[in-house]
Structure 1
Amino acid sequence: MPEVVLFKPFHPMTATYSSFPVSPNAALEAREITCVRGERTLFSKLNLQVLAGQCLHIRGENGVGKTSLLRLLTGLASPESGDILWNGNSIKETASEYHGKLLFLGHRDALKEDLSALENLRMFAAIDDILLSDQDAFTSLWRFGLKGREDLPVNCLSAGQKKRVLMARMVTRRAQVWILDEPFNALDTHATQELLGLIAEHLEGNGLVVLTSHQPLSIPNLRVLDL
């Protein structure tokens, strides 16, 4: 049976979240993958491995293929050659299992602007087939400074506050694998520290993180891949 890890909220006075199963031996791998966009080869025969408790920071100039690599790792795109593996098996063959453990946050926040922050969390939970209690939803929003703004339409929130809604989703989604494209964009210093703490907490609970960022990061068990 897989180990069950309890992800504790940042503030001790708030309610706790439900536990969910993670594997302490989980591994995400890319083997000899080549990515071609149009007539341009972005990278070829690339290998990487991320284990439970590790964070991979993908760096490089704009246009080198960072976002394309993330899309390959999520299964949203397929490599020209090579394969992406989850626990030793191709994600093509284990798509349902893998996607059930995956949270991908891309450049577009995917928030519904006419819905409130609370309604967005409920919508995501319904899409992900996750039972989200009102207590967990409110707790996650309050944790990231959105108390009193839960019922505001997202289009009334600042760019940084929208990011905080997504940080709340990172908690409520309860996924072992986080793949994050420039997650620190639009965050102020305080929110950046909160996100760094959230990632560190996720790693401590045997989570896996792959992210892109142009800024240097201080995260436990961090490895760097330069494209």
Structure 2
Amino acid sequence: MLTTTAIFPDLPAFRPEKTRVSGLSLSRGDLTLVRDFSLDLGPGEAVLMSGPNGTGKTTLLRAIAGFVRPDEGRVSFGAGPEPASSADCVAWLGHADGLKSVETPRQALRFWAQMGGQGRSAILPLLRAMAIESLIDRPVSRLSRGQQRRCALVRVALANRPVWLLDEPAGPLDGGGRTRLADLVAWHRSRGGSVIAATHQLLDWSDARRIDLGAHR
């Protein structure tokens, strides 16, 4: 349920995909970060992963995205006999926002829209939904960290992928930004998308499952 009056664009429909994580174990050197972690995530669902520093939240997200090879276990997308690839399913947001300091949001998001096979028409409505449309022609270097993160979330939406993997998405956001983030996630889920987020912040996302990674060491 949206908590603001934000209006989101009509992006082309994507095929909702199920995410299955089976018996994943991850380590760094001799240190075990995650042991025997499993998760089934269906279309429209969200998971919030928490835990102290060093419990492997970022590493687990990167493994689900296909950036890190697990010690054991596997990750698959889709329920059919031919699993979908992470490149076709996943939109990623890490600690870096994926924006060049010398570019404006207009320039950066046009690039990412093209990368996602989208037209430019969704850029301004998404910026409005994140309440930063007035900054569209301001260099990224002159945006605050919270404004940059809002712009990065627009980038994620423009990828138009069914599975969002978000690492500390609300880290630099103020209260208004967290509300806009919640609305963006609710919109994505209403389209059949799913979200896994690692967070230190207490995020109020409707019906989101909460997992403490400290229990999987």
Instruction: Sort the Cα spacing of 1:78 and 1:88 in 2 relative to 1 into closer, same or farther, 3 A.
Output: farther
Report percent identity of matched pairs: 27
Which of 158, 174, 179 matches 2:160?
A: 174
Which of 182, 187, 190 matches 1:201?
A: 187
Aligned AA (1:55): A
Moved more, 82-91 or 190-199: 82-91
Aligned AA (2:40): Q
Instruction: Sort the Cα spacing of 1:191 and 1:35 in 2 relative to 1 into closer, same or farther, 3 A.
Output: same
Q: What is aligned with 1:213?
A: 199
RMSD over aligned Cα atoms: 2.1
Deviations along 1:100-137, one digit per CA (max 9) or x if unpaired, are 22111001112111111011111212333x1322x322
Q: What is aligned with 1:79?
A: 70
Highest RCO, 1 vs 2 (Cα 8 Å, sep ≥ 6) = 2
TM-score normalised by structure 1 residue count: 0.85
**Consecutive unaligned residues in structure 1, runs of 5 or more:** 1-8
How far the C-alpha of 1:88 sits from its partner, in A, is: 4.4
How far the C-alpha of 1:28 sits from its partner, in A, is: 0.6
How far the C-alpha of 1:90 sits from its partner, in A, is: 10
**Consecutive unaligned residues in structure 2, runs of 5 or more:** none
TM-score normalised by structure 2 residue count: 0.89
How far the C-alpha of 1:146 sits from its partner, in A, is: 2.0
Instruction: Sort the Cα spacing of 1:94 and 1:18 in 2 relative to 1 into closer, same or farther, 3 A.
Output: closer
Measure the CA separation in 2 of the matches of 1:200 and 1:221.
10
Indicate if the aligned counterparts of 2:166 and 2:197 stay in contact, CA closer than 8 A: yes
Measure the CA separation in 2 of the matches of 1:94 and 1:21.
13
Moved more, 107-116 or 165-174: 165-174
1:84-99 alignment, distance < 5 Å: 84-88=75-79, 94-95=84-85, 98-99=86-87
Does residue 147 (structure 1) correspond to residue 147 (structure 2)? The answer is: no
Q: What is aligned with 2:88?
A: 100
Does residue 32 (structure 1) correspond to residue 19 (structure 2)? The answer is: no
Deviations along 1:55-75, one digit per CA (max 9) or x if unpaired, are 011110001100000000000
Aligned AA (2:158): T
- Provide the secondary structure at the position in 2 that maps to 1:20: coil
Aligned AA (1:216): L
Measure the CA separation in 2 of the matches of 1:17 and 1:35.
38
